[in-house]
Structure 1
Amino acid sequence: MNKYLFLLLFFIAPLMVSAAQQPVPESISSNIKGALCYIQSDDQVVFVKEVFTQKLSLPGGTIDLNEAANKAAERETWEETGLIVTAKEILTQTETAVVFHCEPASGVIAFTARNHHGFHVLPAWFAPDFGIETKQVLLGYADMIKPQEYRYPAQYHQQVLNHDVPNAPIQYIDSAISAAPLMHQFELPVIEKIQSTISLLPKWISAFIFDVLKVFNSTASIFGVLFLMPIMIYYFGGKPSLQMAYVGIVTVTITLLIQLGLKFPRPFIYLPPLQLTDILGFSTPSIRTALSIVLIGYLFHIWKKMYEYESIWRCLVLLIGVTLIQGLSSIMLGEQFISDVLFGYVIGLLILWHYIRLDDKQSVAAKLIMLQPALWWGSLGGLLILAYSLHSIQLANLAGITFAFVISLPSLIKVPHLTLPYLIVKMVATCLITYVIFITQQHWLTYITQSSISGYFAQCGFWFVLTYIVIKISCIGSYPKK
């Protein structure tokens, strides 16, 4: 009898111990849709800065069908922060979300330096949602942020403040250079040395230098490409402008897919003090350098065919100089590694070479292929599928831009040249409208972005509206081909 009792206890005891270790959840309201984790370390709280809303929130997300709330909190926290946690007791419940006290299995690792908002940045580039839904993972005092900086301002006090929980172990590190690929480990000290050398100059001089670098760096951004539209349509008409836009979209798509495949973080991810700009996504290869090579090569190719001016060579040298300065600027600002820029140049040259080969073919069909509605609609569908399957907001934004060109396709094809010399006025109007839309986007995004789906639509809509307005302004004063 004692032998059977011993065997019974031998098999049941581990189950009893395991059950005792699992937190017993309190009753959760049936209308609860989300589960959040409150992680405290060094009397500070772990926050997530979201890609869509640019707001702070506790790590967590939507509870899947037939999923326990505590397991949802653990899963979402891992996906957003890279922290493996155990959800303990329930701290509070709001109308739609439950907040658990969560303990990280291996403690919290944070960078020693604080950012300009006073937060410690956590190394989280390996988290599945980093760069997709999560922009940064931060550690800071709960009362450091204002309610309007929180994703749900009305629930800020209930979700974040006045929770008496033990601190999780924490380790502060100065950098994560040793975690970078070997090639990047050699490049990081170079970037740090460049920035520190500039920072040693008088404050107003160093600030001026960094501002100039930001201007040059933005020349190859999507904003910079949109500003080219009035110039392209003025000098070349609608068809070459559409071809330029399509080549640019293809370039960004290819480089984005490579980035999402490699998932190499930017320099400031390993060393937060290097961050001087607010940029999203991964590093390798550089989209901006690839795009600048393609656009400059395209402009030279088209200009040479339409206008045989000797001064074009001087303009080409100037544009190449701007491209090189742009690449150097992105390195000095901590956005790209040197190898990222070089990789971007290679990709840009390959895409440009293929385009020129296609354009130089004698076949009329080859020359007009990028003006076909079927190609544009197919490309839009492909971008939407990629954005949905890869959860990439950058691909979603690119789809919004593409859609603006798709619905403008019939009118752009009919624009041979402009009859009114209002180029400067159009460029100024484009800059002002873009600036107003960009500055005010955070206000209206806050009201319409309540989920990942609405966030995707809001971001796509922003780029669609901006691109469509720029196209319409660029076409003012044109007359259709008869």
Structure 2
Amino acid sequence: MIRQRDPYQYVLVLFVLTLFVFGGLLMPRVAGATEAEAITENISLQPSSLPEQPTDLVGAACVIRHGKKMIMVSEVISQKLSIPGGYIDNRDPASVTAQREAKEETGLDVDVVQLLQYRDRAAIFACVTKQPILVAERPDNFQRHDVASWHAQHFGSEIKKVYLMSPLVLADGEYRYSGDLEYLYQWMQATPESDVVFFTDLSAHANRLHQAELPVIQAFQAWGKALPEAARTILESLMWLMNLPGEYWFVFLLIVAVASLQGPVAMLQLVAAAVMAILLSTWLKDVLHSPRPFYLIPDLQNGEAYGYGFPSGHTLLATVIWGMLWLRFCATRSWHRAKAGLLFLVVLVLGQAMARVWYGVHFISDTLAAILIGILLLVACARLITPETIRGKSIWLGITVLTGIAAGMTQLPQHTYLFAVSLGVFLSLDALPKRTLNLSVTRHFLVATCLLLGAGGIAYGSMKLANASSVSPIILSLRAVGAFLLALWLVAGSSVLLRLLAEPEPKQ
């Protein structure tokens, strides 16, 4: 007789883990609110007309100005812009909070000059930097100048980028607190000016390895840009194609295709490998704090990226994903097929690495290290994530616990989403088909279409709900719920669809 495990053990473990994760996420540090959440009445900017400090004050923010531009931060959780600021901790004065948050989010040491305004439960201060602000001379496509901020404490975890920009160029819905838009220019005008130093090259601040790599990257990009127009167009198109396997949306489409054609078990192998690759790369980035090439030389930027650079997450993910597909479709087949597939795998992975260097978002060492780490992770996945083990709850319980602990300790939004995905997979394992299912080509296509439509609806709904809020914990929770439902739909939804559309089981 086979002894069944008590399901309540799993429920208890996951309940405790969920409390641990979301308890940490609701702490002020992760909330990362840059101002108080409620925005209401218009108050004069004259200090003499300011009311007494509210007793329920919860947040403070800094206005930092140079000319007709001001410092703004692009947030990871809300994916919108705001001025630097956050929650008041440990009963600190509001001015101390504004000073601390400016340092943590932008890396700038500031003096708080004066109180500009109370915005319900937030205090808005005029601040002046103690040293000149290092600003990239080259503006981006939106005429924003990047501020050298990769050394800031919350860079990459809460803050994507720091800009020096005009508040007048903000697009609709781009600023986190829409009610503040009419005051931003007034606040900026009432703030004393901070000094700025524009730079084109900070390579002297890099380590020796990066200093040696930067001329190689510059030469590579210069060679590509010097090609005839037709050849340059082909090169840029090739780099775009090679870069796709590291993009999350492309990996998602691959997972849907595998679920539709090979079934949910094969899909689970790919999902588990992708989760581990993303978890490892984001954790290493958060620990090592290695800058990207275009942070040091802005002219190298040909593509978008944020956070730290080592290792290359795109390259690591591509190595693991293509490697898992090679193991499934080539490695166990004929020797010639295995060799041809391995050659194709090498081309794709090296192409991915080359594309990241071409875009100026990674050093060569970032990509080579990512390939090595990806190979080691692939070997581990090949041994642990087999078609037999991936159906069991034990391995997914382990992945869920691992991602949950990572989310609670690092408090990175990416780790919260990985925990939500792992939990969604774990809770939907009972829906997996018990037998091999046979479908026609048309029905495979129908399964893929239904999966994409359902996933699109979940993603759109969670995005709309998250964009409607300005409260960081709520935004993070809504996005995590969306990731959870997406995983639930991919596993349970694909299983149900395949069973409904499968050919009848032959009678004995």
Q: Return the TM-score normalized by structure 1.
A: 0.83
Decide which of 137, 142, 148 is 2:167's aligned counterpart.
142
Deviates more, 1:399-408 or 1:36-45: 399-408
Q: Which residue of 2 aligns with 1:7?
A: none
- 2:143 corresponds, among 100, 103, 118, to 118
Query: For the residues of structure 2 that align with 1:190 and 1:440, how far apart are their CA atoms?
Result: 45
Q: What amino acid is aligned across from residue 85 of structure 2 in structure 1?
A: G
1:377 paired to 2:403: no
Provide the residue aligned with 2:186 in structure 1: 161
Determine if the alignment matches structure 1 residue 421 to structure 2 residue 441. Answer: yes
In our comparison, the structure showing a higher alpha carbon Rg is: 1
RMSD of equivalent CA atoms:
3.2
Q: What is the CA deviation profile of residues 9-68 of structure 1, one whole-angstrom value per residue up to 9, with x for unaligned ones?
A: xxxxxxxxxxxxxx9998312233210101112332111111122211111011124111
Task: After superposing the two structures, state which structure 1 stretch, 201-210 or 261-270, moved more.
Answer: 201-210
2-side partners of 1:368 and 1:435: how far apart?
30
Superposition deviation, residue 212 in structure 1? 4.1
Q: Percent sequence identity over matched residues?
A: 25
What is the one-letter code of the residue matched to 1:89? Answer: Q
TM-score of the pair, normalised by structure 2: 0.79
Change (3 A) 1:444 1:272: farther
1:392 maps to 412
Comparing 222-231 and 178-187, the one that deviates more: 222-231
Cα pair 1:48 1:56 within 8 Å, conserved: yes
Task: Kindly indicate whether residue 282 of structure 2 is the aligned counterpart of residue 262 of structure 1.
Answer: no
State the partner residue of 2:327: 301
Give the CA deviation at 1:119: 1.2
- Deviation string 1:460-479 (CA, Å, 9 cap, x unpaired) is 23333444444456443345
CA distance in 2, matches of 1:234, 1:439: 22
Instruction: Measure, in 1, the Cα distance between the counterparts of 2:479 and 2:231.
Output: 36
CA 1:96/1:276 → structure 2, altered by over 3 Å: closer, same or farther? farther
1:133 CA drift (Å): 0.9
1:408 corresponds to 2:424: no
Unaligned runs of 5+ in 1: 1-22, 360-365
Q: Which residue of 2 aligns with 1:109?
A: 134
Write the deviation string for residues 222-274 of structure 1: whole angstroms up to 9, x where unpaired. Answer: 33332223443455443343233223322322222222111112222222333
Cα contact 1:387–1:393 (8 A) shared by 2: yes
Q: Deviations over 1:116-163 (max 9, x none)?
A: 111111000011110111111100223222463211111222244353
- Equivalence for 2:5: none
Give the match's secondary structure for 2:123: strand
Q: Residue 82 of structure 1 aligns with which residue?
A: 107
Matched, 1:326 2:347: no
User: In the TM superposition, what is the alpha-carbon distance from 1:188 to its structure 2 partner?
Assistant: 2.3
Give the corresponding residue for 1:335.
361
Q: Which runs of 5+ in 2 are unaligned?
A: 1-46
Q: Which amino acid aligns with 2:498?
A: G
Task: Report whether the alignment pairs 1:64 with 2:64.
Answer: no
| Correspondent of 2:58 among 1, 9, 33 | 33
Contact persistence 1:214–1:329 (CA under 8 A): yes
CA distance in 1, matches of 2:300, 2:474: 33
Correspondence for 1:463? 483
Contact 1:430-1:470 within 8 A present in 2 as well: yes
Match of 1:61, SS state, is strand
Output the CA distance in 2 between the equivalents of 1:220 and 1:105. Answer: 40
Evaluate the alpha carbon distance shift between residue 409 and residue 31 of structure 1 in structure 2; reply closer, same or farther with a 3 A threshold.
same
Q: Deviations over 1:319-353 (max 9, x none)?
A: 33222211211111122211111101111111222
- Return the match for 1:92 from 117, 120, 142: 117
Structure 1 distance, partners of 2:459, 2:387, is: 36
Give the Å deviation of 1:307: 5.0
> After the TM superposition, which of the residue ranges 123-132 and 319-328 deviates more from structure 2?
319-328
Say whether the 8 Å CA contact 1:420–1:477 is kept in structure 2: no
